[in-house]
Amino acid sequence: MPKPYWQVKAQLTAGGLTFPAQWVPAKVYTDEEKRCVYQNIAQQVAQLCQQADVTVVTECETKREKAAAPLAFSLGSLQQACCRLWDMSPRQVLDTAQSLYEKYKATTYPRTDCGYLPESMRKGIPSVLDAIGRTDPEYAPLLSQLDKTMVSRI
């Protein structure tokens, strides 16, 4: 059964750099997963942090993490992203994607909800990348560096 817990996080600035910081609660305030289970304690810490003029960082942890590339856009996820980023309507996104598919062959068929390319489409990848390079020559140097034979999870 889920149990509530509280975290205190802040954005700190030092030497012109801004970085995230997180309060690490004392063992007496935590559960077996080292999460603060006392709301009043977390609130007191947050209040003290807001009142403090100077902060001392006592420990710094840096992690290098790898994340898998996202799957290809489905029409729905493409419409959501374009609306969020450029305030485009779903119709505008569909019309643009359809045009890119029909006129320039620069995308795959847009009217699908699948985030995966079928194996049968692999042979078309080089021609799609070439079409992108012809449509916008600014991408040519980047496209020339791609491994067109690489098989990804999509």
Which amino acid is it at 75? Answer: L
- Residue 114, both tokens: 């699948």
Which amino acid is it at 46? Answer: A
Give the integer Cα–Cα distance in Å for 25 and 35: 7
Q: 109 catalytic, yes or no?
A: yes
Catalytic residue among 29, 38, 101, 109: 109
Query: 3-state DSSP call for residue 13?
Result: strand
Burial of 56 (0-12, 13-18, 19+ CB in 10 A): exposed
- Residues serving a catalytic function are 109
